[in-house]
Amino acid sequence: MTAPQAPQVPQAAQVPGAPEPFGARLRRALDDRGPLCVGIDPHASLLASWGLDDDVAGLEQFTRTVVDALADRVAVLKPQSAFFERFGSRGIAVLERAIADARSAGALVLTDAKRGDIGSTMAAYAAAYLDPGSPLFSDAVTVSPYLGFGSLRPALDAARAAGSGVFVLALTSNPEGAEVQRATAGGGASVAQTVLDHIARENAGADPLGPVGAVVGATLEEAGADLAVNGPLLAPGLGAQGATAADLPRVFGGAVRNVVPSISRGVLGRGPSPRALREAAARETDALREVLG
């Protein structure tokens, strides 16, 4: 049984001249380009498999190849910030360019940073990824709610103002996550369900999707939670982690239409040939369309 829901108040109509809401942009991208998010995860073993050195030059060549090959055709690109941060400022510079180039080519960029803090620190993280004046400005960013959902308020407000989105960790694909996410919260619901209920309230009245998404692993046997949050559901775990497109209806049930399936090594492992990357992305997109419509 889920925690009692607060009354849902329809969100105000879009103000003329304001940025188009993230949920509307994401829905259009998924419908037009197909339901696929490709992760950009330049870890050392993948660089080596491409014949690249594990240094900034290898990072830059890898990232530029992926962006050039896919940004004009996939709905979402998801760079994992950690793999750029490990090279310091020069790595962050590569990430900044990748975000700008991918967005210029029409892909939505979801920066996978999993930030979470309180007060002015959370506000600073929000400014880094969700302020249009920042060189790291992204269409969306992943955040962690485990200092309390209310601690995310600076990011939620910044995203709404910029027409961007946030994806909140809820039911992640790593098995260790269950010890926190499946635990019972004060009201009797699981911690994950409490997070999902907060997300649903943030998205109340939005059409076609709200700006606040949830991260729900495609590798789960079952969600065991109410995923009707009126927002996108980022589904990592397809491909190398073992989940397939056929698993999505079982995990997501009636919310499957709003799933954003994320694949990394299943596409990136076909590189470094740009043509092979594009063919792999097209195959994955076709398989997902058969299931998701």
Mean pLDDT value across the chain: 93
Which of residues 118 and 238 earns the better pLDDT score? Answer: 118
pLDDT mean over 240-260: 92
Q: State the catalytic residue, choosing from 73, 114, 182, 278.
A: 114
- Tell me, yes or no, if the pTM score tops 0.75: yes
The average pLDDT across 137-159 equals 98
Fold adopted by 22-292: TIM Barrel (3.20.20)
Q: What is the pLDDT of residue 3?
A: 42
For range 251-256, the mean pLDDT: 95
78 is catalytic: no
Average pLDDT over every residue of 72-81: 98
Q: Where are the domains of the chain?
A: 22-292
Q: Can you give the three-state secondary structure of the chain, one letter per residue?
A: CCCCCCCCCCCCCCCCCCCCCHHHHHHHHHHHHCCCEEEECCCHHHHHHCCCCCCHHHHHHHHHHHHHHHCCCCCEEEEECHHHHCCHHHHHHHHHHHHHHHHHCCCEEEEEEEECCCHHHHHHHHHHHHCCCCCCCCCEEEECCCCCHHHHHHHHHHHHHHCCEEEEEEECCCHHHHHHHCCECCCCCEHHHHHHHHHHHHCCCCCCCCCEEEEECCCCCCCCCCCCCCCCEEECCECCCCECHHHHHHHHHHHHHHEEEEECHHHHCCCCCHHHHHHHHHHHHHHHHHHHC
pLDDT of residue 4 exceeding 50: no
- Please give the pLDDT value at position 141: 98
pLDDT at res. 16:
65
Residue 258 confidence (pLDDT): 97
Would the pLDDT of 9 be above 90? no
Q: What is the mean pLDDT of residues 51-63?
A: 98
**pLDDT digits over 148-158, tens only?**
999 999 999 99
Least confident of 70-74, 78-82, 170-174: 170-174
The pLDDT, as a whole number, for residue 255 is: 96
- Mean pLDDT across the stretch 84-95? 98
Q: What is the pLDDT of residue 15?
A: 57
For residue range 173-188, list pLDDT tens digits in order: 888 999 999 999 888 9
Of the listed ranges 51-60, 114-123, 143-152, 181-190, the one predicted with least confidence: 181-190
